[in-house]
Structure 1
Amino acid sequence: MNLVNIAKHLLYLPEREFSNEGSRTSADEIVASEQLFEVLKSFKDSRFSELDVYQTLDFDDEYDETTDKEEGTDEEESLDDTDDFDENQQQNIYNHFTLEEMEEIVEWVDQHPNYKFTTIKHRFQKVKHPIYITRFREYIRKNGTRFEKLEKIKQFMWDEFYVKRAVEKEAVHDTDLELFAIQKARELKWDNFIVSESFLTRFKKKNRISSRRYNKIITRASSIRKVCTLEGI
C-alpha cells in the first residue's frame, strides 16, 4: 500500500467533515499525529487491513464509589438497639427480604462499620429499624451453607475474570461472568442457582469492574512469491 496516498486521503476526510480552522499545532496534536503515523506504518507491505472494535469488562482504576462517601459521624447509633421494636415485626422482616437482599445489606454494613443507622436506612429504605440488621445476621447464620456457597461462587468469578483479562488478555463480557457463576454453582451442587442482573451489578461494583471499548487494527503482510519456469530442464 502507498502510505502517502493513504495520508492524503486521511487529511481530506477531516477537512471535509470539519471546518479547516487555521491554528498553530499544539504539542498534544504533534504527539497524536506521531502515534497515528506509527499506526499508518503498520499498513505498509500489507494487502488486507481491518479495524476490530470490541468491548470488554476491565479493571476500573478510576472507580469512584461516590454513593459510599457519606460520613456517619454526627451521632452514635447502635445497630443492636432494640428499643421501641415490636417483636411481632420479626416475621414481617423475613417476608419482605430475600436472603440475597439480607446478605447484600449485611455485607455493606460490615464494609462501613462507622456509618450511622440513618445513612444505612437512606441507602436501604426497607430497613426500618437497627434490629433488622441483627435479625438478618441470625437468618444468614442459619442458612450459612448457602452463604458460603455464594462466597465461593463470587471468588471463582473473580479468579476466572482476572486470569482472562490480566493473564490471557482476552475480552470478557457479562455472559462470561454468568457462565463462571453457573459453572461453580453446578460444581457445588447448587443446580437451581440463577444469576440475576442485580447479582452481576453488585459483583462488578464490589470488584471495580467496568465496560470499556477497544480498537485494534489487523493487517496481513503481502506474500512475495517467486515465479519458476521449466526452461532449461
Structure 2
Amino acid sequence: MKLLNIAKHLLHLAEGEYGFENSTTATDEIFAAEQLFEVLKSFKDSYFSLLYTYDTLEFEDEYDEKTSEDENDDEIDDYDEHGHFNLQNRFTLEEMENIIKWVDQHPNARFATISNRFKKIKSMNYITRFREYIENNGTRSDKSKKIKEFMFEQFYLKRAIERDAVHDADLELYAIQKERELNWDEFKASKSFINSFKRQNRISSRRVNKIITRTKLKKQFCSLNGN
C-alpha cells in the first residue's frame, strides 16, 4: 500500500466531514498526528487490514478523569450491598468489641455518656449493629473481601493477560461464582457493589480501537556452506 495515497484520502474524508479550517496546529494535535502516523506505517507492507472497535473495562491511568458516575457513587461508601450502614468503613472489629465490652460493664449508661466517651457513636442503633456484627464474627466482611479478591484475579487474568473484553456483566458473574462457592445465599451482586469494586480498583469503561494487519513475509535463504 502507498502511504501517501492513504494520507491524501484521509485528508479528503476529514475535510468532507468537518470542513477546511486554516488554523495553527496545537501541540496535542501534533502528538496525535505522530501517533496516527505510527499506525499508518503498519499498513505499508500489508495486503489486508481490519479496524476492530470494542468497549471494555480497563485499569485507569493518570490521563483518566473521574466521571459523574464515580462522584455519585461516593454517596454509597458507607453502605454495603444490602443498603445497610457499613460499620467496617468506620470501626474495626476490635473497636466494636471494646465498645460493647464497656457498654456491658455499664448497663445503666445513657446514650449521652456513651457518645461522649466514644465520639464516633451517633445513635444507640450502632450498639445493636455492633452486637450483630460481632455475633457473625465479621463473616460478611470476610466473604465480601474474598469475593472482591476473586473478581480482581479474574478481571486481571481476562483483561491484562488474555486481553479479552470485560464488562460489568462479567464482574457480576465472577461475584456470583465466588458467592456460590462460599454458600452466601444472602449476597446480591448489585450495581452499587460492582461500582464500589470498580472504584476501589480504579477500573473504568473505555473504547478500544484495534488494527489487524497481514503482511507478506520475505523469504530468506541461507546456504549450508555458510555462503
Shift of 1:66: 5.5
8 Å CA contact 1:99–1:140 kept in 2: the answer is no
Inter-CA distance 133–54: structure 2 relative to 1 (3 Å threshold): farther
Match status 1:164 vs 2:158:
yes
Where in structure 2 are the equivalents of 1:1-233 lying within 5 Å?
A: 1-61=1-61, 62=64, 100-102=82-84, 105-110=86-91, 130-144=123-137, 145-190=139-184, 193-222=187-216
- SS in structure 2 at match of 1:137: helix
Q: What is the letter of the counterpart of residue 33 of structure 1? A: A
> What is the TM-score normalised by the length of structure 2?
0.65
Inter-CA distance 172–223: structure 2 relative to 1 (3 Å threshold): same
1-structure distance, mates of 2:40, 2:132: 62
Which runs of 5 or more residues in structure 2 are unaligned? 93-121, 220-227
Deviations 1:143-167 (A, max 9, x none): 3434432221122112322333344
Q: What's the Cα RMSD here?
A: 3.3
Shift of 1:13: 0.9
Which runs of 5 or more residues in structure 1 are unaligned? 70-96, 112-128, 226-233
- SS in structure 1 at match of 2:82: helix
Larger deviation, residues 5-14 vs 20-29: 20-29
Shift of 1:214: 1.4
Inter-CA distance 188–10: structure 2 relative to 1 (3 Å threshold): same
2-structure distance, mates of 1:154, 1:25: 46
- SS in structure 1 at match of 2:86: helix
> What is the TM-score normalised by the length of structure 1?
0.63
The number of aligned residues is: 181
Per the alignment, residue 86 of structure 1 pairs with none
Inter-CA distance 29–63: structure 2 relative to 1 (3 Å threshold): closer
1-structure distance, mates of 2:166, 2:73: 27
Shift of 1:58: 1.9
Shift of 1:206: 2.8
1-structure distance, mates of 2:81, 2:205: 29
- SS in structure 2 at match of 1:24: coil
